[in-house]
């Protein structure tokens, strides 16, 4: 995954709804910037999910610097259409029309054209050469639509170009495809949770993306419950059956915890260990289905990931890799310690 961050021009982050696409996209952007790349992170669904993570009230179609080495952009369909029309010499027309007029016309003329504009804007940023007034980036990270919609979204230029065998729409679609299909330039990352349904959907998503010829670079298993007890977890079952000795020790130490309180604490620790075991089983199943694709684990951050501090912590985790796939130069043990 780190290798993808270091070499790709475009990282597309997709995944089932609510599994952490936006958070991971922002985290990957910060991690890549920490590795010296100039990064743009872009969202395309008008959700304003990125803004808060960078401590901003909102983002818009202007690329704004949001952190060291990171710019962010909320791609606006209206502005993308204006840019698109201007590129093909229709600027005066673009000034006259409102998005609602155009939107009605476009949806009727060619479903998916709205997506063409969004994908086109991302392509433009990822392939842009630096010139006065506009920055060039080493990497664009896209907070993409969810797994169920990502293939038609990324293939929208292709679908629309099928109507136009030649001309600017066709050649634009060819250029977008050249970027998206190249595993040296594009890396698709899927976010997943260590839960039954997301694991199944992730494996289906990986298969669908592969079938569409899109280069999948790996999966981020997000919000993984940390195993704080390791091998000692097994002793919890015996303690839960008979918390007596522990309760006696607590009383002798003057902790103020009575038998019921100790039993509750032990019971909760045991439930957490069960959760850890359930997640390990699901992650094993996920890994097994991934056929050697990298799987990076991100811990559940108790305080959530609501702003720049949480984001920095997450980026640190992404840069450290996970114990099964340690980043180069780190030992298995060092990465494990970082995760804990
Ligand atoms: N590692 C983590 N630890 C704790 N909370 C997390 C973690 N990653 C994400 N979250 C929280 O989970 C929620 C969902 O994350 P996020 O919005 O990134 O998901 P999403 O896939 O973009 O959702 P949507 O499909 O709605 O766009 C957010 O409240 C976020 O703060
Ligand atoms: Mg999101």
What was the pLDDT predicted at 112? Answer: 75
CB 301 within 8 A of CB 226: no
Going from the Cα of 187 to the center of ligand 2, the distance in angstroms, rounded, reads: 18
Cα–Cα distance, 262 to 245 (Å, whole number)? 10
Q: Is the CB of 148 under 6 A from ligand 1?
A: no
* Predicted local confidence at residue 336, as pLDDT: 35
pTM given for the model: 0.89
Q: Where are the domains of the chain?
A: 3-225+300-329, 230-291
CA of 49 to the centre of ligand 1 (A): 9
Residue 99: per-residue pLDDT: 66
CA distance 69 to 40: 9
21 lines ligand 1 (CB under 6 A): yes
Q: Which residues contact 215 (CB under 8 A, 6 or more apart)?
A: 181, 182, 183, 186, 187, 188
Contacts of 45 (CB under 8 A, 6+ apart): 143, 145
- Residue 294, both tokens: 């990298």
10: β partners:
140, 186
Distance of CA 107 to the CA centre of its chain: 29
Distance CA 92, CA 312 (A): 44
Q: 304 in ligand 1 pocket by Cβ < 6 Å?
A: yes
Distance 23 CA to ligand 1 centre (A): 6
Q: Say if strands 64-67 and 70-74 run parallel, antiparallel, or are unpaired.
A: antiparallel
pLDDT of residue 110: 66
Q: Which two tokens stand for residue 315?
A: 């980026």
CA 128 and chain centroid, separation:
23
Nearest CA to ligand 1 atom 9: 20
CA gap 167, 6 in Å, rounded: 35
How many beta carbons lie within 10 A of that of residue 232, not counting itself? 9
The residues near 303 (Cβ < 8 Å, ≥ 6 apart) are 310
Q: For residue 305, which atom of ligand 1 is closest to its CA?
A: 31
Q: Starting at the edge strand that comes first in sequence, how are the strands of the sheet with 295-299 ordered?
A: 64-67, 70-74, 39-43, 139-143, 10-15, 186-192, 216-224, 295-299
pLDDT at residue 43 in the model? 97
Question: What's the 216 CA to ligand 2 centre distance in angstroms?
Answer: 19
Q: How many residues does the chain have?
A: 340
Tell me the β-bridge partners of 297: 221
Q: Counting ligands in written order, which one lies closest to the CA of residue 148? A: 1
Sequence-distant contacts of 145-150: CB under 8 A, at least 24 apart: 145/14, 145/44, 145/45, 146/14, 146/15, 146/16, 146/17, 146/21, 147/14, 147/15, 147/16, 147/190, 147/201, 147/202, 147/204, 147/205, 147/208, 148/205, 150/12, 150/14, 150/188, 150/205, 150/209
Say yes or no: CB of residue 20 within 6 Å of ligand 1: yes
| Cβ proximity of 125 and 42 under 8 Å | yes
Give the pair of three-digit tokens for residue 158: 């292709």
Q: Could you give the CA distance from residue 269 to residue 271 in angstroms, rounded to a whole number?
A: 5
pLDDT tens track of the chain, all 340 residues? 778 889 999 999 999 999 999 999 999 999 999 999 999 999 999 889 999 999 999 999 999 999 999 999 999 887 887 787 777 777 776 677 776 677 677 667 666 778 888 999 999 999 998 777 777 999 999 999 999 999 999 999 888 888 777 777 788 899 999 999 999 999 999 999 999 999 999 999 999 999 999 999 999 999 999 988 887 877 888 888 888 889 999 999 999 999 999 999 999 999 999 999 999 999 999 999 999 999 999 999 988 898 999 999 999 999 886 444 444 433 333 333 333 3
Question: What is the C-alpha separation between 153 and 12, in angstroms, rounded?
Answer: 11
Q: Which residues fall within 8 angstroms of residue 315, CB to CB, at 6 or more apart?
A: 27, 28, 30, 31, 34
- 36/46 Cα distance (integer angstroms): 29
Hey, what CATH class is 3-225+300-329 in? alpha beta
């Amino acid at each position: 995954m780190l290798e993808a961050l270091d070499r790709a021009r475009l990282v597309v982050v997709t995944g089932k709804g609510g599994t952490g696409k936006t958070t991971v996209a922002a985290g990957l952007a910060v991690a890549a910037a920490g590795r010296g790349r100039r990064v743009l992170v872009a969202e395309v669904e008008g959700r304003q999910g990125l803004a808060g993570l960078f401590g901003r009230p909102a983002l818009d179609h202007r690329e704004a610097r949001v952190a060291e080495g990171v710019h962010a952009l909320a791609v606006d369909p209206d502005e993308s259409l204006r840019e698109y029309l201007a590129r093909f010499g229709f600027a005066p027309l673009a000034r006259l029309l409102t998005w609602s007029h155009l939107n009605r016309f476009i949806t009727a003329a060619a479903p998916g054209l709205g997506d063409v504009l969004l994908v086109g804007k991302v392509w433009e940023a990822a392939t842009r050469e630096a010139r006065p007034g506009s920055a060039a980036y080493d990497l664009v990270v896209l907070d993409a639509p969810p797994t169920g919609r990502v293939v038609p979204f990324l293939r929208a230029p292709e679908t629309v170009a099928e109507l136009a065998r030649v001309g600017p729409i066709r050649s634009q679609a060819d250029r977008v495809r050249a970027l998206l299909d190249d595993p040296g330039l594009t890396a698709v990352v899927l976010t997943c949770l260590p839960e039954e349904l997301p694991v199944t959907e992730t494996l289906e998503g990986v298969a669908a993306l592969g079938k569409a010829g899109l280069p999948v670079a790996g999966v981020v298993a997000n919000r993984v419950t940390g195993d704080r007890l390791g091998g000692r977890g097994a002793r919890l079952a015996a303690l839960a059956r008979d918390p007596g000795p522990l309760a006696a020790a607590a009383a002798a130490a003057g902790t103020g915890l009575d038998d019921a309180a100790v039993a509750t604490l032990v019971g909760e620790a045991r439930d957490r260990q069960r959760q850890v075991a359930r997640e390990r089983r699901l992650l094993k199943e996920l890994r097994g289905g991934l056929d050697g694709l990298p799987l990076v684990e991100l811990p559940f951050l108790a305080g959530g990931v609501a702003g720049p501090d949480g984001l920095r912590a997450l980026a640190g985790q992404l840069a450290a890799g996970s114990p099964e796939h340690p980043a180069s130069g780190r030992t298995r043990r060092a990465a494990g310690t970082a995760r804990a």
